[in-house]
């Protein structure tokens, strides 16, 4: 029997670092619309629901014939916890799996979205998070993580990669999340935690600041050249 997978796209009117980033315009469309279209074009979800806190998000959802969940205002502050947002959502919408799809990562590639969902529903993990590995010298509190200060400078390809979370896609088996939340008031990292390595750099571009937005806007405006053949100076 097939498993029901819901795509939840959160949209909050307030944000600290870049105000109303979901509504910032790129090529005559708000960022939220770019995210919605990426989710729809993946053709992997049984339902896509906008989880918002303002009538403008409901208007955008309606323009795509999507359901809209009017989130409790207590879950729309900067102090709100993601665990509480997911629990509230799963208490209303029944599914086997829920995927938190961040529209502020508007360039997610179809292959990454589909492969993420396939891994989530494979039965191997009950919570799954998109990540990106980088082969680069890294520090934590001014101390080296994957290289030595007492040795020759390593080639990046010889380093152990540094893996970071990418807040583009996160997913959970609904029943396991609910079980853990009811037991402990949290369920984010539920039982068998897994990580999906984004295959495409575009999928890992996330808007957190105005500078991020300007970078992604410039990428979208020039995206037609992305798949062009690489040429070299000879």
Contact 76, 84 (CB under 8 A): no
Q: Exposure of 136 by Cβ count < 10 A (0-12 exposed, 13-18 middle, 19+ buried)?
A: exposed
Residue 101 belongs to domain with CATH number: 3.90.550.10
Residue 232 in domain:
no
Give the mean pLDDT of the chain.
Answer: 92
The total domain count for the chain is 1
DSSP string computed for 136-152:
S--EETTEESSS-TTSP
Q: What is the pLDDT of residues 68-99, one digit of tens each?
A: 999 988 888 778 899 999 999 999 999 999 99
Residue 233 in domain:
no
Q: Which domain holds residue 149?
A: 5-222
Q: Angle CA(78)–CA(219)–CA(157) in degrees, nearest 5?
A: 90
Residue 229 in domain:
no
Residue 230 in domain:
no
DSSP string computed for 10-72:
EE-S--SSSTTGGG-EETTEEHHHHHHHHHHHH---SEEEEEESSHHHHHHHHHTT-EEEE--
pLDDT at 1: 58
Mean pLDDT within 141-169: 91
Contact 44, 112 (CB under 8 A): no
Q: What is the pLDDT of residues 165-220, one digit of tens each?
A: 999 999 999 999 999 999 999 999 989 999 999 999 999 999 999 999 999 998 98
Question: Given the DSSP bridges, would you call strands 143-144 and 139-140 parallel, antiparallel or unpaired?
Answer: antiparallel
Residue 125 in domain:
yes
């Amino acid at each position: 029997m097939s498993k029901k997978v819901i795509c939840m796209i959160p949209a909050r009117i307030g944000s600290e670092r870049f105000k109303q980033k979901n509504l910032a315009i790129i090529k005559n469309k708000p960022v939220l619309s770019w995210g919605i279209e990426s989710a729809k074009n993946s053709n992997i979800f049984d339902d896509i629901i906008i989880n918002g806190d303002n009538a403008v998000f409901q208007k955008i959802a309606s323009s795509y014939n999507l359901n809209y969940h009017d989130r409790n205002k207590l879950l729309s502050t900067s102090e709100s916890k993601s665990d509480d947002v997911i629990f509230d959502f799963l208490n209303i919408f029944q599914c086997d799996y829920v995927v938190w799809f961040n529209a502020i990562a508007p360039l997610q590639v179809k292959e990454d979205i589909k492969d993420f969902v396939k891994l989530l529903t494979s039965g191997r993990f009950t919570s799954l998070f998109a990540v990106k590995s980088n082969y680069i010298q890294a520090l934590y509190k001014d101390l080296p993580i994957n290289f030595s200060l007492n040795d020759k400078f390593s080639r990046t390809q010889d380093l152990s990669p540094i893996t970071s979370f990418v807040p583009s896609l996160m997913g959970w088996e609904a029943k396991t999340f609910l079980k853990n939340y009811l037991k402990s008031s949290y369920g984010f990292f539920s039982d068998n935690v897994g990580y999906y390595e984004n295959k495409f750099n575009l999928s890992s571009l996330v808007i957190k600041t105005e500078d991020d937005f300007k970078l992604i806007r410039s990428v979208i405006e020039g995206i037609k050249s992305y798949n062009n053949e690489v040429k070299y100076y000879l």
